[in-house]
Amino acid sequence: MTGSDRPSVLDPALAARLKRGADGLLPAIAQQYDTGEVLMLGWMDDEALHRTLTTGRCTYWSRSRQEYWVKGDTSGHVQLVKSVALDCDADTVLVKVDQVGAACHTGDRTCFDADELPLGPRIDQ
């Protein structure tokens, strides 16, 4: 269970804008701040977002372990927060970070470089 059952620790104006899923979570995309490289997708509730905004380190909610985790506490591969933005619908968070080491739990720099899908014939060609 996430902190969604508790009152939000976020600024009330920000908390009111967020469009969370039924589980109280928002997808959070981590992107390398200087290159634009997409690193990973994690999940945040209000508490994880609050911790991310106030500590300068990305905090996520683990859906499998049902607990908060700070990126890099175990691996040393920290994400130092440079900026945080909401998308136009306020249902996704973009966290621009300075990634130290690998972002992916597999040891790869990004979670999105190992399994590129083949493109088929396109309608517009």
Cβ pair 83, 99 in contact under 8 A: no
Domain assignment present for 55: yes
Domain assignment present for 122: no
- Spatial CA neighbour of 95 closest among 28, 34, 49, 37: 28
Q: Which domain holds residue 16?
A: 3-99
Spatial separation of the C-alpha atoms in residues 21 and 44, rounded to whole Å: 11
Domain assignment present for 32: yes
Task: Output the pLDDT for position 116.
Answer: 84
Domain assignment present for 42: yes
Q: What is the pLDDT of residues 9-24, one digit of tens each?
A: 999 999 999 999 999 9
Spatial separation of the C-alpha atoms in residues 102 and 77, rounded to whole Å: 6
Q: Which residues are annotated as a binding site for Mg(2+)?
A: 87, 89, 91
- The segments of the chain whose pLDDT lies below 50 read none
Domain assignment present for 66: yes
Domain assignment present for 92: yes
pTM of the model: 0.88
Domain assignment present for 124: no
Q: Which residues are annotated as a binding site?
A: 87-89, 91, 104, 111
- Give the CATH number for residue 47: 3.10.20.810
Cβ pair 114, 106 in contact under 8 A: yes
| Alpha helices, H only, the chain | 12-17, 46-55
Task: Output the pLDDT for position 2.
Answer: 56
Q: Which residues are annotated as a binding site for Zn(2+)?
A: 88, 104, 111
